[in-house]
Amino acid sequence: MTGGARIALPGFSIECHRFAPPATEADDRARCRLEGEAMLADARAGASCSLGGMPGFVQNMDRAGPWQPRPVLPLDPQARWP
């Protein structure tokens, strides 16, 4: 899309647990690690693995008019990082 405001789409959600094993990049990718256009495609899909609010935000922005989404790396480590 062209025109409209440029909006960064970061994502960060963390739940810490002292006794959980450290997370690896492979753990992160297994949950739902998307980057760039794949993040937008997932948010616009019927069944998304993105962070909770991302699909609704993207879909509402699409309906509101022109905008320039700028996806960045979302992180959702859950209870894996001490």
Write the pLDDT tens digit of every residue in 41-57. Answer: 888 887 887 767 888 88
Paired tokens of 67:
């905008």
Over residues 5-10, the mean pLDDT reads 88
How much is the mean pLDDT over the chain? 78
pLDDT at 60: 92
CB distance 11 to 74 below 8 Å = yes
CB distance 67 to 9 below 8 Å = no
Paired tokens of 27:
């753990």
pLDDT at 61: 92
Paired tokens of 82:
């001490």
Separation of alpha carbons 49 and 66, rounded Å: 25
Separation of alpha carbons 68 and 4, rounded Å: 6
